[in-house]
Amino acid sequence: MGRRGQPAAQIATPHESALRTELSELLRLFYLNGWVSGTGGGICARLDGDHFLLAPTAVHKERVKPEDFFVVGLDDGRPLQRPADPTLRPSECNAIFRAIMRHRGAGAVMHSHALSGVLAADLASGGALPIQGFEMLKGIRGCSNRDTHLVPVVENAEREFQVAGAVERAICDPRYARAFAVLARDHGAYIWGQDVSETKRHAEVYHFLFEGVWARGVRRDRVA
Amino acid sequence: MGRRGQPAAQIATPHESALRTELSELLRLFYLNGWVSGTGGGICARLDGDHFLLAPTAVHKERVKPEDFFVVGLDDGRPLQRPADPTLRPSECNAIFRAIMRHRGAGAVMHSHALSGVLAADLASGGALPIQGFEMLKGIRGCSNRDTHLVPVVENAEREFQVAGAVERAICDPRYARAFAVLARDHGAYIWGQDVSETKRHAEVYHFLFEGVWARGVRRDRVA
Amino acid sequence: MGRRGQPAAQIATPHESALRTELSELLRLFYLNGWVSGTGGGICARLDGDHFLLAPTAVHKERVKPEDFFVVGLDDGRPLQRPADPTLRPSECNAIFRAIMRHRGAGAVMHSHALSGVLAADLASGGALPIQGFEMLKGIRGCSNRDTHLVPVVENAEREFQVAGAVERAICDPRYARAFAVLARDHGAYIWGQDVSETKRHAEVYHFLFEGVWARGVRRDRVA
Amino acid sequence: MGRRGQPAAQIATPHESALRTELSELLRLFYLNGWVSGTGGGICARLDGDHFLLAPTAVHKERVKPEDFFVVGLDDGRPLQRPADPTLRPSECNAIFRAIMRHRGAGAVMHSHALSGVLAADLASGGALPIQGFEMLKGIRGCSNRDTHLVPVVENAEREFQVAGAVERAICDPRYARAFAVLARDHGAYIWGQDVSETKRHAEVYHFLFEGVWARGVRRDRVA
């Protein structure tokens, strides 16, 4: 396919350039929200049917520049084009992001390290967090504010790629077919949508719901 | 009236242009406050006795540009002038916004999806949230800090226009004649004022009160 | 003294111009902190031994421009120079601000409507809020982190000028001689310093302490 | 070494200039996070094996400019080069910062006055705060998300240099060899890394953990 080893600046289409800019802007927004602090979290978005842009790992996410993304093959997860900065390595979310894009048709996926996700997962039981009684549920594609929306919660593991198996089972589980998020206990959330814009909306909606579930849960425990 | 189908750029008066800019700036401010995240919430403002500007639905509210507003007829709610972007649709708050402008003489109305409104509504009983013991009550037109200010709380429904009937009854209910806000349970708040500036002030005051009522309520439950 | 009725632009010294700019910047900062939302709160600073700059009332404080301040006589509280905008009226804090400047030698005073101040005042008993066990106490002039720092708490009243008597008694009360803040129950705080810079520091320190006292107080109630 | 008394502008290398800019930008970021409000907190970074840059004390930290840092000798803590502004004095953290750089090989150290650090320290027992069950632990160099990470907690003292002895013992205590932070009760945290970038990451990670430990601790007390 001819991309391998070529510098991004020479071959990026206008679509790819805009996408790189959009992703780096979203990382700054997510950082301001406290979702990707301490170099945690990540983001990816499909370029076309076979490739996607992937953020680097282990860097301050709000400092990621448009030219810092990897072009990665969707099937095999191999970087086809690397940033000019040789110190950058592709996100550890690679396997999870690909599973979500392939099994759920996601056009973009974000990984959040927000405390609200960690705390909401504490309230889960039986492998899922049930969310109900919020108008904001309508911000999730296909969801009504009358639904009890189930977000799967997987156990955390030492390395991100080890969590991938559990996430893959969760996203293929028919009980969670309507979810656009997976919580990893003690860790955070993977949130996706059909494109970058929907992924941003879903990220805002789910984080709102995580905060709401926690606030109401704390009060309920207290009153009970 | 000759507006239908004409592009906004050609006919907007200086007043209308300034109002469009002001509304888009307010949406950005509301977004930063967490009141219109996940594409939720909305805003409108009267242009004159017969028309008002209405934000689009289902878009990231902080990205709404001055040219993205609809000009809508106050009586029938029909868009008289659409934004150039053909994908934009008028806010689902249309019916509720018009009811508030017509029955309460509002010059502008904002719709908030803030979590603080949802949580405050949890503390309501008998269809209203009583608020007392806050100097900030004086930020509501006609309200003293000695008043027990009643904010009506309506039940939520699946679609925004279905909530409209309950909101209309609440704003016409003489018990709530001094309120400039209606809470929808699990959903958020509709807040208005005689003009955009007062609507901004009322929005800030009511959200402050929602947070205060919640914080004190949580402590009271605990101590009791 | 020749100032009455003259436009500010013609006679402002470099010192006065800088002070006007500084005060309007501080109001924006306070707004971002949530201390002066809903047009609440205010600020003043001495120009010289006889006059001070006073913010207008009933306006969105983050929009106050350098030319919007009044020049007011310290002794009689009468505006000697008004902003060009004829709709602006001087802050209702006038009497309280002057009492603090005259009795305590303050060079600047800010009035906060922060929720943290309201909540902290809920924890007061016997007319004062005792604060101890915080390094941040050292941010208050003359205060050690070993002190139990007493902040007087006065009852609120319907109009700001009615609170003035209680505030004046509190600031002249020798028990509170080390305090640079007065809390008004359900209302907020008056905080001052020898100049604008110290007033900013004291405002940040006291709000930190209000939040800390509340957070620890809520936990203590729960554990007890 | 010829630096004493020379103005910074004449001799700063590109490396030193960049470091000065980076430190002043970090202070602004820390201020926005609420970690260095009220003139509290501080920062330093090594210039070379023998010298480091040290922020001034008793100033609004978000206003510190690149030229406001002191060049200080690592061994004796004496300022070798002062800012042009004669009112600036070197940070009281001098002794603690040097101890951490010398005993732990830190390339930079920040001192936080965040409320989250104060509250987290309240949950410590036996001289340390144990942190476990957070993926974010992996943001600390050498730490796994399976570890129980111990952060030493020292008692506060009236003056910052008096705390230095306790901090020095803690950082040399083999039980805390894996920690890159020391909490001072009622006061805040000292956080470091091998360079400025790692110090920023560690600061974000530890503050996240302080907030998480507090939120979970409050819920645990309640449920228990």
Q: Chains that contact D by 3+ CB pairs under 8 Å?
A: A, C
Residue B195: the pLDDT is 98
Chain A residues lying within 8 Å of B119, measured CB to CB: 212, 215-216
Q: Do B38 and A135 touch (CB under 8 A)?
A: no
Model confidence over C114-152: pLDDT tens digits?
999 999 999 998 999 999 999 999 999 999 999 999 999
Q: Do C197 and D113 touch (CB under 8 A)?
A: no
Residue spans of alpha helices (H) in chain D: 8-11, 14-32, 94-104, 115-122, 160-172, 196-223
Residue A161: the pLDDT is 78
Residue A69: the pLDDT is 98
Q: Which two tokens stand for residue A114?
A: 């927000």
CA angle (A87, A90, A95) in 5-degree steps: 160
Chain C residues lying within 8 Å of D38, measured CB to CB: 136, 139, 201-202, 204-205, 208
**Residue D3 pLDDT exceeds 60:** no
Residues present in chain A in total: 224
- Whether chain C has a CB inside 8 Å of the CB on B223: the answer is yes
Report residue B2's pLDDT band, with 50, 70 and 90 as the boundaries: very low
Model confidence over B38-77: pLDDT tens digits?
999 999 999 999 999 999 999 999 999 999 999 999 999 9
Find which of B136, B146, B200, B205 to mutate to test the C interface (most C CBs within 10 Å of its CB): B136
Longest Cα separation, chain D: 63
- Whether chain C has a CB inside 8 Å of the CB on B208: the answer is yes
Q: Do B212 and C187 touch (CB under 8 A)?
A: no
Q: How far apart are the first and last CA of chain A?
A: 62
Q: Which of A16, A25, A92, A135 is an active site residue?
A: A135
Q: Are D7 and D82 in contact (CB under 8 A)?
A: no
Q: Which two tokens stand for residue D9?
A: 């502008």
Known catalytic membership, residue C135: yes
Residue D26: the pLDDT is 98
Q: For the purposes of burial, counting CB atoms within 10 Å of the CB of A48, is it exposed (0-12), middle (13-18) or buried (19 or more)?
A: exposed
**Residue C205 pLDDT exceeds 60:** yes
Find which of A138, A146, A222 to mutate to test the B interface (most B CBs within 10 Å of its CB): A138
Helix (H) or strand (E) run with residue B221 in it: helix B196-223
Chain A residues lying within 8 Å of B156, measured CB to CB: 135, 145
Q: Which residue of D has its CA nearest to A122?
A: D216
Report the gap between the CA of B93 and the closest CA in chain C (Å).
Answer: 24
Nearest alpha-carbon partner for B110 in B44, B167, B65: B44
Q: Are C60 and C44 in contact (CB under 8 A)?
A: no
- Whether chain D has a CB inside 8 Å of the CB on A222: the answer is yes
Q: Which residue of B has its CA nearest to A134?
A: B186
- Whether chain D has a CB inside 8 Å of the CB on A84: the answer is no
Report the gap between the CA of C167 and the closest CA in chain D (Å).
Answer: 24
Q: Do C113 and B219 touch (CB under 8 A)?
A: no
Percent of chain C with pLDDT over 70: 94
Q: How far apart are the first and last CA of chain C?
A: 62
Model confidence over D80-129: pLDDT tens digits?
999 999 999 999 999 999 999 999 999 999 999 999 999 999 999 889 99
- Whether chain D has a CB inside 8 Å of the CB on C204: the answer is yes
Nearest-by-Cβ selection for B134 from C37, C186, C221: C186
Residues 60-79 of A with CB under 8 A from D: 60
Chain D residues lying within 8 Å of A39, measured CB to CB: 139, 201, 204
Chain D residues lying within 8 Å of A186, measured CB to CB: 133-135, 145
**Residue D2 pLDDT exceeds 50:** no
**What is the rounded CA–CA span in Å between residue B99 and residue B114?**
22
Q: Which residue of C has its CA nearest to B206?
A: C38
Q: Calculate mean pLDDT across residues D29-58.
A: 97
Q: Which of D67, D92, D135, D160 is an active site residue?
A: D135
- Indicate if the alpha-carbon torsion angle C6, C7, C13, C16 is positive or negative: positive
Model confidence over B138-153: pLDDT tens digits?
999 999 999 999 999 9
Report the gap between the CA of D208 and the closest CA in chain A (Å).
Answer: 7
- Whether chain D has a CB inside 8 Å of the CB on C102: the answer is no
Residue B224: the pLDDT is 52
Report the gap between the CA of D144 and the closest CA in chain A (Å).
Answer: 7
Residue D161: the pLDDT is 78
- Whether chain A has a CB inside 8 Å of the CB on B115: the answer is yes
Q: Are C189 and C114 in contact (CB under 8 A)?
A: yes
Nearest-by-Cβ selection for C145 from D37, D122, D156: D156
**Residue D211 pLDDT exceeds 50:** yes
- Whether chain C has a CB inside 8 Å of the CB on B135: the answer is yes
Q: Chains that contact C by 3+ CB pairs under 8 Å?
A: B, D
- Whether chain B has a CB inside 8 Å of the CB on A102: the answer is no
- Indicate if the alpha-carbon torsion angle D139, D142, D145, D151 is positive or negative: negative
Report residue B8's pLDDT band, with 50, 70 and 90 as the boundaries: very low
**Residue B130 pLDDT exceeds 60:** yes
Question: pLDDT tens per residue, chain A (224 residues)?
Answer: 344 444 444 568 999 999 999 999 999 999 999 999 999 999 999 999 999 999 999 999 999 999 999 999 999 999 999 999 999 999 999 999 999 999 999 999 999 999 999 999 999 988 999 999 999 999 999 999 999 999 999 999 988 878 999 999 999 999 999 999 999 999 999 999 999 999 999 999 999 999 999 999 988 876 55
- Whether chain B has a CB inside 8 Å of the CB on C32: the answer is no
Contacts of C35 (CB under 8 A, 6+ apart): C41, C110, C112, C113, C114, C203, C207
Q: Which two tokens stand for residue C158?
A: 């319907």
Residue D9: the pLDDT is 47
- Whether chain A has a CB inside 8 Å of the CB on B111: the answer is no
- Mean pLDDT lowest for which of C5-14, C64-73, D17-26, D107-116? C5-14
- Backbone phi, psi, residue A53, to 5°: -90, 135
**Residue C68 pLDDT exceeds 80:** yes
Nearest-by-Cβ selection for D60 from C201, C216, C223: C201
Torsion angle in degrees (nearest 10) through CA of C196, C201, C206, C209: 170
Q: Which residue has the tokens 């109009």?
A: C159
- Mean pLDDT lowest for which of B18-22, C8-12, D12-16? C8-12
CA A37 remoteness from chain centre: 14
Chain A residues lying within 8 Å of D30, measured CB to CB: none
Residue C223: the pLDDT is 58
**What is the rounded CA–CA span in Å between residue C122 and residue B218?**
13
**Residue D44 pLDDT exceeds 80:** yes
Residue D222: the pLDDT is 62
**What is the rounded CA–CA span in Å between residue B30 and residue B116?**
13
Chain B residues lying within 8 Å of C39, measured CB to CB: 139, 201, 204
Average pLDDT, whole number, for chain D?
Answer: 94
Q: Chains that contact B by 3+ CB pairs under 8 Å?
A: A, C
D188-193 sheet: strands from edge to edge: D79-81, D70-73, D51-54, D42-46, D108-112, D188-193, D181-184, D149-154, D128-131
Report the gap between the CA of A117 and the closest CA in chain B (Å).
Answer: 16
Average pLDDT, whole number, for chain B?
Answer: 94
**Residue B214 pLDDT exceeds 60:** yes
Q: What is the pTM of this model?
A: 0.95
- Whether chain D has a CB inside 8 Å of the CB on C104: the answer is no
Chain D residues lying within 8 Å of C212, measured CB to CB: 115, 118-119
ipTM over 0.85: yes
- Whether chain C has a CB inside 8 Å of the CB on B1: the answer is no
Report residue B176's pLDDT band, with 50, 70 and 90 as the boundaries: very high
Nearest-by-Cβ selection for B208 from C38, C60, C122: C38
Q: Which residue of D has its CA nearest to C133?
A: D186
Half-sphere exposure at residue C79, Cβ-oriented, CA atoms within 13 angstroms: 21
Q: Which of B22, B62, B135, B198 is an active site residue?
A: B135
Residues 158-177 of C with CB under 8 A from B: 158
Q: Do B212 and C115 touch (CB under 8 A)?
A: yes
Nearest-by-Cβ selection for A134 from B39, B118, B218: B118
Average pLDDT, whole number, for chain C?
Answer: 94
Report the gap between the CA of A202 and the closest CA in chain B (Å).
Answer: 7
Q: Do C118 and B212 touch (CB under 8 A)?
A: yes
The better pLDDT of the pair D125, D65 is held by D65
**What is the rounded CA–CA span in Å between residue D58 and residue A115?**
32
**What is the rounded CA–CA span in Å between residue C120 and residue B210?**
17
Q: Calculate mean pLDDT across residues B167-177.
A: 97
**Residue B35 pLDDT exceeds 80:** yes
Q: Calculate mean pLDDT across residues D19-38.
A: 98
